[in-house]
Amino acid sequence: MAYATRISRALGLADDVYDGNIHRVKGFPDDLARCTGFEWDAGNADQNWETHQVARGEIESIFFNRPLIVASDLAHSQREPRYAALGTTDQGRRLVIIFTVRESMVRVISARDMSRRERRIYEQDISKT
């Protein structure tokens, strides 16, 4: 199964919308590699905590830990590039982070625990490296 299809299904996204629109980014996207910090929308940060009990520090930590899988989301990137990241926190919690990059800052849109399917994809992908 193609990577784009696997990741779109794992993220619970409709194949007809996402197939061919989510692509694994080798290494880091250029704009992510230039980031110097995080920009937080209070509403999104509060909602991530209230809905999924994911704290800002946990979210930030996955960007510094390896392995980190980053996929671009072309279908939802009309106004600005959006990405999905699968990664592990310092405490070993596996998260999915949806984010964008504004100037030199990572702006988190949402964060939650990986689903069973996402964990399977993450584990299969990292076992190849």
Q: Please give the pLDDT value at position 3.
A: 45
pLDDT less than 70: residues of the chain: 1-31, 74-77, 129
pLDDT for the residue 23: 42
Mean pLDDT, the chain, whole residue set: 77
Residues paired with 107 in a beta bridge: 39, 100
pTM of the model: 0.74
pLDDT at 41 (0 to 100): 84
The confidence score (pLDDT) of residue 75 equals: 67
User: pLDDT tens across 98-119, in order?
Assistant: 998 888 899 999 999 999 988 9
Domain boundaries, the chain: 3-127
Place of tokens 């399977």: 120
Q: Counting Cβ atoms within 10 Å, is residue 70 exposed (0-12), middle (13-18) or buried (19+)? A: buried
